[in-house]
Structure 1
Amino acid sequence: MASSSARGRNPSTGCCRNDAMTGYRTVERESRIELVERKSRFIGWCFPIASEEEALAHLSRIRKQHHDASHNCWAYRLTPNGSVARYSDDGEPGGTAGMPILNAITGRELTDVLVIVTRYFGGILLGAGGLTRTYGKSAGMALEEAGLIQMLPGVALTIVVSYAMYGKIGALLAHPGLRVQDTRFEADVSIEGTLRLEEYPGFERDLADATDGTAQLMRGKELLFPF
Structure 2
Amino acid sequence: MTKEENYLTIKENGSHEIVIKKSRFIATLARTETVEDAEKVIAAVSKKYHDATHNTFAYTIGLNDDHVKASDNGEPSGTAGVPELKALQLMKLKNVTVVVTRYFGGIKLGAGGLIRAYSNSVTKGAEAIGVVKRVLQQELSFHVAYNRLDEVNHFLTNEQIYVEKITYGVDVVIHLFINEQEQAELEEKLSNLLAGKVTFTKGEKRYNEIEITDHHYHEH
Q: Name the TM-score, length of structure 2 as normaliser.
A: 0.85
Tell me the distance in 2 between the aligned counterparts of 1:57 and 1:176: 42
SS in 1 for 2:200: strand
Contact 1:20 1:80 in 2 (8 A): no
Look up the match of 1:14. Answer: none
Tell me the distance in 1 between the aligned counterparts of 2:171 and 2:145: 5
Tell me the distance in 2 between the aligned counterparts of 1:226 and 1:130: 35
Letter in 2 for 1:188: D
The alpha carbon displacement at 1:145 in A equals 2.2
Over residues 30-75 of structure 1, what are the superposed CA-to-partner deviations in whole Å (9 max), with x where a residue is unaligned?
Answer: 2321111111111112222211122122222212221211111111
| Distance change >3 Å, CA 28–CA 46, structure 1 → 2 | same
> Which structure shows the bigger proportion of residues in helix conformation?
2
SS in 1 for 2:151: coil
| Distance change >3 Å, CA 50–CA 199, structure 1 → 2 | same
Contact 1:33 1:141 in 2 (8 A): yes
Over residues 140-170 of structure 1, what are the superposed CA-to-partner deviations in whole Å (9 max), with x where a residue is unaligned?
Answer: 1112223233334421222332222211212
Does 2:195 correspond to 1:212?
A: yes
Tell me the distance in 1 between the aligned counterparts of 2:124 and 2:40: 22
Query: In structure 2, which of residues 93, 109, 124 is the aligned counterpart of residue 126 of structure 1?
Result: 109
| Distance change >3 Å, CA 172–CA 50, structure 1 → 2 | farther
Look up the match of 1:25. Answer: 8
The alpha carbon displacement at 1:175 in A equals 4.9
Tell me the distance in 2 between the aligned counterparts of 1:59 and 1:116: 6
Look up the match of 1:221. Answer: 204
SS in 2 for 1:191: strand
Tell me the distance in 2 between the aligned counterparts of 1:94 and 1:117: 15
Tell me the distance in 2 between the aligned counterparts of 1:157 and 1:145: 34
The alpha carbon displacement at 1:137 in A equals 0.4
Look up the match of 1:39. Answer: 22
Letter in 1 for 2:101: T
Contact 2:3 2:136 in 1 (8 A): no
Query: In structure 2, which of residues 75, 81, 101 is the aligned counterpart of residue 92 of structure 1?
Result: 75
The aligned length equals 210
Look up the match of 2:128. Answer: 145
Contact 1:161 1:216 in 2 (8 A): no
Letter in 1 for 2:201: M
Q: Name the TM-score, length of structure 1 as normaliser.
A: 0.83
Letter in 1 for 2:140: L
| Structure 1 stretch displaced more, 26-35 or 151-160 | 151-160
Over residues 155-191 of structure 1, what are the superposed CA-to-partner deviations in whole Å (9 max), with x where a residue is unaligned?
Answer: 1222332222211212332255522222333443233
Contact 1:96 1:131 in 2 (8 A): yes
Look up the match of 2:88. Answer: 105
What is the root-mean-square deviation in Å for CA atoms of aligned residues?
A: 2.0
Identity over aligned residues, as a percent?
32
Tell me the distance in 1 between the aligned counterparts of 2:75 and 2:90: 22
Does 2:52 correspond to 1:73?
A: no
Runs of at least 5 residues in structure 2 that lack an aligned partner in the other structure = 211-220
The alpha carbon displacement at 1:136 in A equals 0.5
Query: In structure 2, which of residues 94, 97, 111 is the aligned counterpart of residue 114 of structure 1?
Result: 97
Runs of at least 5 residues in structure 1 that lack an aligned partner in the other structure = 1-16
Over residues 117-138 of structure 1, what are the superposed CA-to-partner deviations in whole Å (9 max), with x where a residue is unaligned?
Answer: 1111112221111111100000
Provide runs of 4+ in structure 1 moved above 6 Å.
none
